Structure 1
Amino acid sequence: MKIIEDLNLPKQILDKTEKLMTKLFGPSIKEFGEIFADNVRFRRLKNQVRILNKTRELLDKNGLEPRELNLKTIVPLIEKSSVEEDELLQDKWANLIAKISTSPENGLEPRLINTLSSLSSLEAKILDFIHEDFYVQQQLRLARLLNSKYANRVYTERDITLEDITISYSSVKEHFELSDEFIKIYIDNLVSLGLLRYEEPEIDIDNGSTSADIIDDDEDKSVDLNLDLSASYNSSDDFHITAFGNYFIKQCKVE
């Protein structure tokens, strides 16, 4: 591909990357060069080559062979990843492509691609911090279970679910030194992408008092109830990682 040669990158990298592109994209590779004609598209292709070179290095390192991807995956993959210039997110794209191309197709590929393309670099860092916090809490809880004198079996990480671990909103805010406004915006976006879920609000109802007046006469037979109840609604900004969020993080995780 002439457009590959024009990228002014080391020939060894270009040759290996072009080979991977041919394997991943199959016949679609012929149209690949035609898509990127002007300077902006040339820049996108350069991003794509960098990402695919990182992917190739991951595959070579782990001795893995990629499969050809279907068109439903190829189109959003090329479109979304090629506009990414941030180094951290390029690394995540490389890991995602490596995982997708070496795993059986499961139908989640387009959603994974769209989700990664929706993240800013800071949101990706926030997500990594949250997952690390989850892992630390999980290991601490597992250690307590294993060291408990009441333990009657061997516990594993699977015994501690995503629902068991709550991530503190304030810990994320303090770590990244963000204002309430911006950390809320970032967390809300991660929630909207299905990666996180806010804690369910708690509703406490006081017992209060109840009385009844029985009216029994010829014209009116009824019971008047007097209810004196109060309820409090407690919401929280703390949250959990969702099942999809956990899967997504692992698929994009930079090893």
Structure 2
Amino acid sequence: MKNILYKALAVLALSTTFTACSNDEETISGTGTLALEFDNSFNGNDLILETQTNTTASNEVLKITSIKYIISNIVLTKEDGTTYTYPKSESYFIVDEATAASHVIDLLNVPAANYTKVTFGVGVDKDQWSAGADGQGDFLATAQTAGMMWSWSAGYKFVAFEGTFTSSTVTTAVPFKVHTGQTGTDYNYTTVSLDLQTKALVRTTVTPQIHIITDLSKVLNSTNVIKLSDNNASGTGANIMGGTNLPLITQNVSTMFSVDHVHND
């Protein structure tokens, strides 16, 4: 009888220990850092500036010399469906392929939680621009230095995609520039939401990194098909910075991001 009682007490003690450990593991508190890594590619190939030949779905061959874009207004969704909005005043970043340090955006003081989705804007939202030059904080100078402004009255460049191209009708390489941003009545800001197949576990001691692939082939070939050669009327190059093509390109831009994986290290 005593042996049975001792065994019962032992099982109860062990069960209590496991429950305590389980409760400890479920207590998530404090803040941590979450990193967003933007990895530029072209149709499945890692992007190499200047020398790499990139063939579009329209059989135009591009050599990309520069790609920059603004990431803004980051919102993280927790596994319970609630969201954390990164402070707006700190939520504007420029990703520049030529500057390796800009490829990883560190979000600081993020509440510890299990996150299942990331949402962000491409460009600077109209409310922020409407705050005037004095309302932009340090980002205005950052954008000017990076060449991501047309002028204050014209506003920010949201995406600046540049290089040279050839096609069946353009046999000698000519320049191209695709710049999105405010044009006429079209503001051309877009929002992207990406589900995470692996939860990003933000902890005081764990800094997850969400690896996002940016497929630049989709700038011209995605929801809409845009041919650079159709915009080379003068024969000196294709400059798409306004007109009817720009809203179509903005729709394409919203499709060019995907999550490759999440590191929880």
> What's the TM-score bracket when you normalise by the shorter of the two chains?
under 0.3
Bigger Cα Rg: 1
Question: Which structure's relative contact order is higher, taking Cα pairs within 8 Å and 6+ residues apart?
Answer: 2
Query: Would you tell me which structure has more strand in proportion to its own residues?
Result: 2
Structure 1 length as normaliser, TM-score?
Answer: 0.22
Query: Would you tell me which structure has more helix in proportion to its own residues?
Result: 1
Structure 2 length as normaliser, TM-score?
Answer: 0.22
